[in-house]
């Protein structure tokens, strides 16, 4: 698609990505704005494209209060959004301890964005994650050995059980493109000092691991990782359809938990069998099993030698006749 005369290529790339995400949307949208180059480029493109499409867009800046002067940074980002033609608000949040500062801040941020979307009647929230963020996510998932759920990376579009649709229009756009787009539009992004703090694993991946891979393996590593994530998301969606069809026939409610047919579980291929176990346990008890835990549960069906109950987070699994029961941890018969 040719660029319009005088339109910077980076600006055109970001706008095109946002236009694709907004096409066919009719409701209001929220743009999550931190003031960094990715979210700032996203906000600028949204202001342009939403206006042309007749969509109301509001920038929401979350002040986590984790750094001195964060309120000033947040107000400046909101002022920039207003100068771009967006309405804007700053929302201060309290970050708990959670599973670490990054996870706690993310949880507080997403909750605040969902509340803001509900308040203005927006049905979608636009997030500024780029292709580089996707590549980093895949590498971190690979290092943790956490399976295809993590290797699938971030979805371009995701809807929770309740709340708005989360859109990531820039997953096909490199970070250097958003930086160039800000420069072309004479926008001054904020640089988060946390993004240079090597105490964070994601920063080490960004600053050390990916550059080494690019240097040793050649350019295009980030793009390849992003393609891998996309392919795995397709596989995961297909597996989920198979799981949904299968569990209707082999899973039943049990006292204080659920039960799974041993014969039916053992008859499935290992990949599907293990996914069924993880999905059923997570759905019932809200916990994610490790691979080792999943395989131990599977052995109750495929390698039964009279082993006793298997302790799992918040629950336990046991063989009872021709079924595997997964019940609350305090339940032992």
Tell me: the pLDDT tens digits for 269-298? 998 999 999 999 999 998 889 889 999 999
- Model pLDDT, residue 85: 96
pLDDT digits (tens, 9 = 90+) for 292-324: 999 999 999 999 999 999 999 999 999 999 999
Task: List the single range of 9-18, 92-101, 150-159 with lowest mean pLDDT.
Answer: 92-101
Task: List the single range of 5-9, 21-25, 268-272 with lowest mean pLDDT.
Answer: 5-9
CATH 3.30.465.60 fits 255-328, yes or no: yes
User: 53 vs 94, which has greater pLDDT?
Assistant: 53
Q: How far is CA 192 from CA 55, 122, 242, in A?
A: 30, 28, 43
Q: Which CATH architecture has domain 9-225?
A: 3-Layer(aba) Sandwich (3.40)
The DSSP bridge partners found for residue 312 are 315
- Residue 290: both structure tokens together: 């490790």
- Model pLDDT, residue 160: 80
- Residue 279: both structure tokens together: 């999905």
Q: Where are the domains of the chain?
A: 9-225, 255-328
User: Are 242 and 272 a contacting pair, CB within 8 Å?
Assistant: yes
The whole-number average pLDDT for the span 228-245 is 88
Q: How far is CA 167 from CA 115, 222, 301, in A?
A: 16, 20, 40
Q: Is the pLDDT confidence value at 4 over 70?
A: no
- Residue 245: both structure tokens together: 């069809």
Collect all residues with Cβ–Cβ distance below 8 Å to 134 and sequence separation of at least 6. 153, 154, 171, 222, 225, 226, 229
- Do the domains spanning 9-225 and 255-328 agree at the CATH topology level? no
- Model pLDDT, residue 276: 93
- Its pTM stands at 0.82
Q: How confident is the model at residue 1 (pLDDT cuts 50, 70, 90)?
A: very low
pLDDT digits (tens, 9 = 90+) for 132-172: 999 999 999 888 776 676 788 899 999 887 889 999 999 99
């Amino acid at each position: 698609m040719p660029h319009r005369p005088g339109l910077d290529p980076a600006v055109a790339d970001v706008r095109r990505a946002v236009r694709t995400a907004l096409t066919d949307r009719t409701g209001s949208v929220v743009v999550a704005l931190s003031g960094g180059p990715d979210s700032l480029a996203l906000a600028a493109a949204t202001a342009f494209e939403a206006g042309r499409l007749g969509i109301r867009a509001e920038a929401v800046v979350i002040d986590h209060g984790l750094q001195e002067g964060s309120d000033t940074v947040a107000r400046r980002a909101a002022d920039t959004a207003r100068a771009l033609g967006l309405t804007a608000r700053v929302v201060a949040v309290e970050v708990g301890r959670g599973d670490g500062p990054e996870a706690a801040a993310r949880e507080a941020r997403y909750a605040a964005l969902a509340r803001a979307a509900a308040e203005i009647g927006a049905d979608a929230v636009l997030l500024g994650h780029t292709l580089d963020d996707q590549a980093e996510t895949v590498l971190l998932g690979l290092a943790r050995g956490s399976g295809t759920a993590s290797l699938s990376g971030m979805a371009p579009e995701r809807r929770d059980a309740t709340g708005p649709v989360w859109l990531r229009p820039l997953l096909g756009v490199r970070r250097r493109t958003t930086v160039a787009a800000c420069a072309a539009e004479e926008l001054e992004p904020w640089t988060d000092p946390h993004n240079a703090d090597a105490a964070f694993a994601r920063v080490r991946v960004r600053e050390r691991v990916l550059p080494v891979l690019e240097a040793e393996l050649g350019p295009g590593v980030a793009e390849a990782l992003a393609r891998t994530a996309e392919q795995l998301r397709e596989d995961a969606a297909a597996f989920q359809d198979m799981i949904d069809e299968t569990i209707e026939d082999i899973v039943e409610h049990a006292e204080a938990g659920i039960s799974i047919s041993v014969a039916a579980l053992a008859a499935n291929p290992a990949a599907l069998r293990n996914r069924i176990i993880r999905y059923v346990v997570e759905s019932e008890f809200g916990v994610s099993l490790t691979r080792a835990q999943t395989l131990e549960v599977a052995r109750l069906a495929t390698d039964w030698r009279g082993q006793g109950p298997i302790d799992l987070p918040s629950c336990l699994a046991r063989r009872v006749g021709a079924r595997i029961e997964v019940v609350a941890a305090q339940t032992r018969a």
